[in-house]
Amino acid sequence: MVPASTPASEVIAMAPDGVFLSNGPGDPAAVDYAIESARELVKVLPVFGICLGHQILSLALGAKTKKMPFGHHGANHPVRDEATGRIEITSQNHSYVVDEVGLPDDLIPTHWNLNDMSLAGMKHRTLPVFSVQYHPEAAPGPGDSAHLFVRFRELVQQQQATA
C-alpha cells in the first residue's frame, strides 16, 4: 500500500504482481499526479480500479470525466455486468462519472448503472486493465460484486503465466 502521490517508478521498483487503484474523494482531474502514474503503470502491470481509481484509470487511458448533477450516493444501485448479464446491487459514492461519449476505442464498456445508464465499468481491449465506478469491497453491504476481486486475481495469474 502506497500513497496516491507515489510515482509509478517507485511502485514498479517494488515488483508488485498487480496494482489496485482505490477509491477517494473529489474531482479526478485534480489528481494529475495519479493519472500520470496510472498511465505508466498500465504499460507494465495488471491494474484494477474502483470508484476514483476507475476515473483516474479512465483519464489515464484517454477518456473524459464529467460532474454529475446529483451523483450516486448510498447502497442499492443496480449495475448490469455485461460479461455475465447479472444485475449487481452496489454501493456507490461519487459525484463524477466517466463520460461514455467519445470513449477511446481501446476502452470497452463492461458495466452500466441501471438507474441512469451511466458508464459504471470498463476494460482495456488489449491491456490487463479494468475498473468499476462503484465499491465492490463495500462491507457491510451487498457482496454481489466480490467476484471482481477473483477476476483481478485471475488476470494477474494469467500475466504471470505468460511472463
Q: Is 100 a catalytic residue?
A: no
Q: Is 137 a catalytic residue?
A: yes
The residue from 54, 72, 111, 135 that is catalytic is 135
Q: Say if CB 8 and CB 37 are below 8 A apart.
A: yes
The residue from 51, 72, 94, 111 that is catalytic is 51
Q: Say if CB 110 and CB 121 are below 8 A apart.
A: yes
- Taking phi over 0 as left and psi of -120 to 50 as alpha, with beta for the rest, 61 belongs to alpha
The residue from 40, 82, 100, 137 that is catalytic is 137
Q: Is 135 a catalytic residue?
A: yes
Query: What is the rounded CA–CA span in Å between residue 32 and residue 162?
Result: 32
Query: What is the rounded CA–CA span in Å between residue 93 and residue 104?
Result: 25
Q: Which residues are catalytic?
A: 51, 135, 137
